[in-house]
């Protein structure tokens, strides 16, 4: 029972500071309130495991940071879900483009692809995977077996060599 009274006193004394810490991380009042409630619940349920080598306040700050990280991880997953669905809808939109616009877009893509294929081979793969297969730099690195830093360098140099070719296409 002593721990519970200690916990209650600490919350009365430092609860506002913990809430403000959470709010400073997420910048949304309602979300900060929800996360604060989760922090209090988690701290209370784990109170028996709390070792008094540290202060309860710093322990709660750690729990708060972890709860925020958990939220961001979940949110990132949700955003990825919506982005993937947005891609599905954008493909539907692409299919519904007017025939003329679709043909023009297809010709432009073919011209860009042909320009990329004129580049040295070491620049072709990363650019084709990035622009036509929608691979991230990390995915390109995994797929080609090339270190990420090398992929970044080849992308940069490939784009530098591609830029004048595309300007010439635009002029024509």
Q: Which residue has the higher pLDDT, 99 or 158?
A: 158
Query: What would the mean pLDDT of 114-121 be, rounded to a whole number?
Result: 85
Q: How close are the terminal C-alpha atoms of the chain, in Å? A: 82
- Over pLDDT 90: what percentage of the chain? 18
pLDDT over threshold 80, residue 92:
no
Two structure tokens written together for 116: 């990329």
pLDDT over threshold 80, residue 97:
no
Q: Which residue has the higher pLDDT, 171 or 162?
A: 162
pLDDT over threshold 70, residue 119:
yes
The pLDDT score that the predictor gives to residue 73 is 85
pLDDT over threshold 70, residue 59:
yes
Name all domains of the chain by residue range, CATH numbers in brackets: 2-81 (1.10.1740.10), 97-171 (1.10.10.10)
Query: What would the mean pLDDT of 38-63 be, rounded to a whole number?
Result: 84
pLDDT over threshold 70, residue 158:
yes
The pLDDT score that the predictor gives to residue 31 is 92
Predicted TM-score (pTM) of the model is: 0.45
pLDDT-derived band of residue 95, with 50, 70 and 90 as boundaries?
low
Mean residue pLDDT across the chain: 81
Contact 7, 56 (CB under 8 A): yes
Concatenating the DSSP letter of every residue in the chain gives -HHHHHHHHHHHHHHHHHHHHHHHHH--HHHHHHHHHHHHHHHHHTGGG--TTS-HHHHHHHHHHHHHHHHHHHHHHHHHHHHHHHHHHHHHHHHTS-HHHHHHHHHHHHHHHHHHHTS-HHHHHHHHHHHHS---HHHHHHHHT--HHHHHHHHHHHHHHHHHHHHHHHH-
Give per-residue pLDDT as tens, 8-45: 888 898 899 999 999 998 988 999 999 999 999 998 88
The pLDDT score that the predictor gives to residue 111 is 81
The pLDDT score that the predictor gives to residue 88 is 53
């Amino acid at each position: 029972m002593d721990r519970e009274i200690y916990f209650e006193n600490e919350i009365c004394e430092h609860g506002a500071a913990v809430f403000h810490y959470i709010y400073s991380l997420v910048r949304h009042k309602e979300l900060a309130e929800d996360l604060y409630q989760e922090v209090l619940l988690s701290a209370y349920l784990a109170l028996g495991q709390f070792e008094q080598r540290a202060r309860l306040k710093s322990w709660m700050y750690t729990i708060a940071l972890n709860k925020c990280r958990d939220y961001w991880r979940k949110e990132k997953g949700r955003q990825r879900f919506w982005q993937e669905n947005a891609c599905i809808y954008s493909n539907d939109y692409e299919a519904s483009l007017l025939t003329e616009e679709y043909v023009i877009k297809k010709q432009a893509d073919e011209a860009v692809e042909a320009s990329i294929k004129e580049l040295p081979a070491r620049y072709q793969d990363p650019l084709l995977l990035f622009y036509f297969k929608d691979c991230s730099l990390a995915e390109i690195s995994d797929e080609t077996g090339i270190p990420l830093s090398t992929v970044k360098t080849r992308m940069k140099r490939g784009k530098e060599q591609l830029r004048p070719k595309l300007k010439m296409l635009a002029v024509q």
